[in-house]
DNA sequence: GCCTAGGTCCCGTAG
DNA sequence: CTACGGGGCCTAGGC
């Protein structure tokens, strides 16, 4: 049995289950009527309501409502969870130091408490990141511009590391800043900062180019680049069009063998089945 | 009853419960042995493992493991959840458009499925934000420097809005950039960008000051500021020291009325009880 | 919808 | 530990 659940437990029962789950290193969910107080880098307070508290064995605490991707309150990994019954309420407190922070969740009633044994990989490799873009451009330097010669990635300067550094066909140093998505003014400032650092290194009269590579650029950023004498080149990130096989398979059909739940999910076409390609 | 739970349901049973919970607008948790596939702005794949899937009625989907504050995979609010049984697995798919993105969670087995009716406030007012810092400085302009006169907040320029704009005791324009925490090179660049925009507005020979206000600054950022002729002033954010009453109370004692759960939680001292001050 | 910047950002990596 | 920048960042506020 990899999950333990109690419904509408007394606070003592809930406390006992929490203690056991802490010891087992389980992932814990607590749903109930609670208040939430946070004090640390900032401070906040949340009145009574039914919410879901998630407690992880690494010290993470998350309070979720029925809206938003982000938790309404939280405590980062490395915290310590404590539970106690006090003033007729079940209090779950997650604390960490450096910085000193406390999250307090006080339950008037606990509707459900579950403890689950998690397993399997929790790290995942994402394709389509800036690093992937960099590697693709290193394989095809001409995609940047004809004759571009890469010299270094993450080249250090005294204002931070340059994504990609090289020389153009005429031997001029080129500072390349890569972004996986549309860029705004901050990316232009970042590139300018790096270019000026290289100019200082090479001598103030050095002819150093700055090149921002991204799928697109906002108007303001384009103007900033122009004013600073920097260049822009549009390059799509190498995610969806490079490896579209699995995406197409996942996109093509729906709802065959059995019924379907949810609004507006019309079966498009019960065509040929794709081979299962996971696990 | 505000929570419905099934343990080790068949996929058909799980599907039925999901459908009902979607209709009720419940917050849903599904714990089980699953794979996770994502394709959209990037792409990722995660092999079999026991994980917790959180589905919100606003379209949010979160896949959590036993580590990290951030979900290992997710789908933002506005997505549509669909569920189906296929190839002997329960498939939960969250889809959105613009951008086109799909999250697929395929359960080999479902250990537990719960549906909860959430209620109560989900918005929370945080104290200690940059806006609080700004308001505190507007109340006490002399905390910035003697004779400083605030003129505008979020003053627009053609490179973005200035946090706080004013004039010093000698009538010179001052661009103030506020940060609630220690700042690095990017904040210095940001301030420089604004200052140059104001200089262009006022005429290139204008004497415009730039002032970065934050709790502290890194060495590189300090050097960047100096090179650009910009200033720095250390100001603590107005969070923990302003309203320390509740924090102290929450910090003082632990574990009185009943027992205590968790590792390393020695009861410090069962001293005087503080008054309950929430709800 | 896009743009701009904040965030208790979180997170990994390098020093 | 700090520092720096990426992120499928997310989220709020304007336009």
CB of A135 within 8 Å of any CB in chain B? no
Chain B interface test: which of A66, A125, A133, A224 (most B C-beta within 10 Å)? A66
Tell me if A69 and B77 make a contact (CB, 8 A cut-off). Answer: yes
A176-201: average pLDDT: 96
Rg (alpha carbons) of chain A, rounded to whole number: 27
Answer for B96: CB within 7 Å of strand C. Answer: no
Checking if the pLDDT of A217 tops 70, the result is: yes
* Of A84, A140, A74, A217, nearest in space to B262 by CA: A84
Checking if the pLDDT of A240 tops 70, the result is: no
Give the Cα separation of B33 and A108 in Å (integer): 33
Length of chain B equals 279
Answer for B185: CB within 7 Å of strand D. Answer: yes
Residue A203 neighbours by CB under 8 Å, 6+ apart? none
Q: What's the whole-model pTM score?
A: 0.87
Q: Closest residue to C15 by CA to C1' distance?
A: A156
Q: What is the pLDDT of residue A211?
A: 98
Residue B23 neighbours by CB distance under 10 Å: 12
Q: What is the pLDDT of residue B272?
A: 34
Considering Cα of A40, then A42, then A48, then A50, what sign does the dihedral take? Answer: negative
Specify the residue for token string 């403890």: A115
Question: Distance from residue A254 (CA) to nucleotide D8 (C1'), in Å?
Answer: 23
Query: Tell me: the pLDDT tens digits for A50-76?
Result: 999 999 999 999 999 999 999 999 999
Q: How confident is the model at residue A248 (pLDDT cuts 50, 70, 90)?
A: very low
In percent, the amount of chain B with pLDDT more than 90 equals: 80
- Where are the CATH 2.70.180.20 domain residues in chain A? 3-116
Nearest DNA or RNA nucleotide to A132 (CA to C1'): D6
- Of the candidates B19, B57, B68, the beta carbon closest to that of A60 is on B68
Q: What is the pLDDT of residue A275?
A: 36
Q: What is the pLDDT of residue B219?
A: 97
CB of A116 within 8 Å of any CB in chain B? yes
Q: Could you tell me how many CB contacts below 8 A there are between chain A and chain B?
A: 359
Give me the torsion for CA of A152, A158, A160, A166, rounded to 10°: -20
Query: Tell me: the pLDDT tens digits for B109-121?
Result: 999 999 999 999 8
Given a contact cutoff of 8 angstroms between Cβ atoms, the answer to whether B224 and B188 are in contact is yes
Average confidence score pLDDT of chain B: 87
Q: Closest residue to D2 by CA to C1' distance?
A: B218
Rg (alpha carbons) of chain B, rounded to whole number: 27
Q: Which residue of A has its CA nearest to B76?
A: A69
Answer for B12: CB within 7 Å of strand C. Answer: no
For the domain spanning A130-234, the CATH number is 3.40.1350.10
Q: Which residues of A touch B85 (CB under 8 A)?
A: 257-259
- Within B56-172, strands assigned E span 61-64, 73-75, 80-86, 89-96, 101-116, 126-127, 149-157, 160-167
B138-144: average pLDDT: 94
Tell me if A111 and B27 make a contact (CB, 8 A cut-off). Answer: no
B157-185: average pLDDT: 96
Q: Which residues of A touch B83 (CB under 8 A)?
A: 260-262
Q: Which CATH architecture has domain B3-116?
A: Distorted Sandwich (2.70)
Q: What is the pLDDT of residue B246?
A: 39
Give the Cα separation of A18 and A232 in Å (integer): 55
Answer for A181: CB within 7 Å of strand C. Answer: no
Tell me if B192 and A189 make a contact (CB, 8 A cut-off). Answer: yes
Tell me if B84 and A278 make a contact (CB, 8 A cut-off). Answer: no
Give the Cα separation of B26 and B97 in Å (integer): 23
- The 3-state secondary structure of B76-88 reads CCCCEEEEEEECC
CA angle B198, B199, B205 (to 5 degrees): 155
CB of B15 within 8 Å of any CB in chain A? yes
- Of the candidates A7, A56, A262, the beta carbon closest to that of B81 is on A262
Q: Which residue has the higher pLDDT, A234 or A248?
A: A234
* Of A69, A28, A35, A67, nearest in space to A50 by CA: A35
Token reading at A99: 């910085």
Long-range CB contact pairs, B210-213, < 8 A, 24+: B210/B174, B210/B175, B210/B177, B211/B144, B211/B145, B211/B174, B211/B175, B211/B176, B211/B177, B212/B176, B212/B177, B212/B179, B212/B183, B212/B187, B212/B188, B213/B133, B213/B137, B213/B144, B213/B176, B213/B177, B213/B178, B213/B179
Answer for B215: CB within 7 Å of strand D. Answer: no
Strands A43-55 and A27-39: antiparallel
In percent, the amount of chain B with pLDDT more than 70 equals: 85
Given a contact cutoff of 8 angstroms between Cβ atoms, the answer to whether A175 and A232 are in contact is no
Which region, left, alpha or beta, applies to residue B160 given φ > 0 means left and ψ of -120 to 50 means alpha?
A: left
- Where are the CATH 3.40.1350.10 domain residues in chain A? 130-234
Q: Classify residue A21 by burial, with Cβ atoms within 10 Å: 0-12, 13-18, 19+.
A: buried
Q: What is the pLDDT of residue A190?
A: 96
- Of the candidates B16, B45, B258, the beta carbon closest to that of A84 is on B258
Tell me if A250 and B126 make a contact (CB, 8 A cut-off). Answer: no
Q: Classify residue B21 by burial, with Cβ atoms within 10 Å: 0-12, 13-18, 19+.
A: buried
Give me the torsion for CA of A261, A262, A263, A266, rounded to 10°: -50
Length of chain A equals 279
Tell me if A243 and B43 make a contact (CB, 8 A cut-off). Answer: yes
Q: What is the pLDDT of residue A237?
A: 79
């Amino acid at each position: 049995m990899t999950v333990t659940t109690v419904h509408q437990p007394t606070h003592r029962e809930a406390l006992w289950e929490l203690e056991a789950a802490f010891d087992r290193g389980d992932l814990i969910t607590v749903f109930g009527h609670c208040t939430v107080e946070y004090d640390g880098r900032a401070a906040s307070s949340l009145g009574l309501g039914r919410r879901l508290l998630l407690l992880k064995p690494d010290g993470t605490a998350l309070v979720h409502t029925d809206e938003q991707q982000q938790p309404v309150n939280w405590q980062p990994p490395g915290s310590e969870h404590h539970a106690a019954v006090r003033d007729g309420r079940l209090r779950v407190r997650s604390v960490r130091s450096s910085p000193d922070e406390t999250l307090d969740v006080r339950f008037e009633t606990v509707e459900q408490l579950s403890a689950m044994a998690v397993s399997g990989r929790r790290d995942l490799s994402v394709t389509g990141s800036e690093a992937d873009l960099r590697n693709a451009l290193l394989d095809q330097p001409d995609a940047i511009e004809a004759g571009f010669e890469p010299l270094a990635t993450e080249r250090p300067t005294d204002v931070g590391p340059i994504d990609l550094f090289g020389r153009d066909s005429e031997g001029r140093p080129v500072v390349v800043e890569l972004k996986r998505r549309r860029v705004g003014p901050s990316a232009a400032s970042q590139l300018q900062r790096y270019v000026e650092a290289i100019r200082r290194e090479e001598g103030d009269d050095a002819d150093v180019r700055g090149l921002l590579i991204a799928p697109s650029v906002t108007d303001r950023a384009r103007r900033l680049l122009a004013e600073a004498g920097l260049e822009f080149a549009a390059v799509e990130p190498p995610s969806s069009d490079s490896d579209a096989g699995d995406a197409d398979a996942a996109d093509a059909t729906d709802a065959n063998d059995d019924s379907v739940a949810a609004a507006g999910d019309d079966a498009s076409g019960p065509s040929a089945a794709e081979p299962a390609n996971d696990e």
